[in-house]
Amino acid sequence: MHPDSRFRVEDREALLAFIRQHPFVTIVAAVRGRPFVAQSPVVIRELPGIMGDGEIALDFHLSRNNVLAQHVVQGFRAVVLATGPDAYVSPDWYAGADQVPTWNYLSVEAEGSAAPLNDEELAALLDDLSAQEEARLLPKAPWTRDKMTPGRFEAMTRAIIGARLTVDRLEGTFKLSQNKGEADRAGVVAALGDHPIAGLMRGL
């Protein structure tokens, strides 16, 4: 995450909403001294707690041929990175002189321990994942695995492994020129026009 606290986001609901909006994540882990990177869509699980907010988990799946998949059974620590829109910012857009290029962007990190899902949990993940994404396609009638030939779903799931990352750190960077003055920010917004980053900057 960016070290400047002006860009830091720690609001749990805002961060979870961001992951829901950008569920295709990058998973980074170091296992036995070797770095691994994988990509997968995630489903957020908010697990009940005894007091207040409960635990957060991210369920995901990998091909069994993925180099990281062979380590799921033993478990590992990982960081999940969800990224959103980004934009290059030219110094020419600022009102002030003697400034340098930069980049505005949004990202969220979730760190925790990953462990395998059982067969029932994997099936639930895949059902929930398809429902989550099919909902974005409304008014199209949602696809469900009931449309598949009996036994085909179960056969295909043997090629993947499910995992759950239990989150113990969740934070984000929403870098939208908060460190600049009003005139500089206005210049960036005007130059970016209808770019999503400009819209987010207008909303601050």
Domain 5-202 architecture = Roll (2.30)
- Structure confidence by residue, pLDDT tens digits, 120-174: 999 999 999 999 999 999 999 999 999 999 999 999 999 999 999 999 999 999 9
- Rounded to two decimals, the pTM is 0.91
Listed by start position, the domains of the chain span 5-202
- Structure confidence by residue, pLDDT tens digits, 29-69: 999 889 999 999 999 999 876 555 679 999 999 999 999 99
Report the C-alpha dihedral over residues 74, 152, 42, 133, rounded to 10 degrees: 180
Mean pLDDT of 197-202: 96
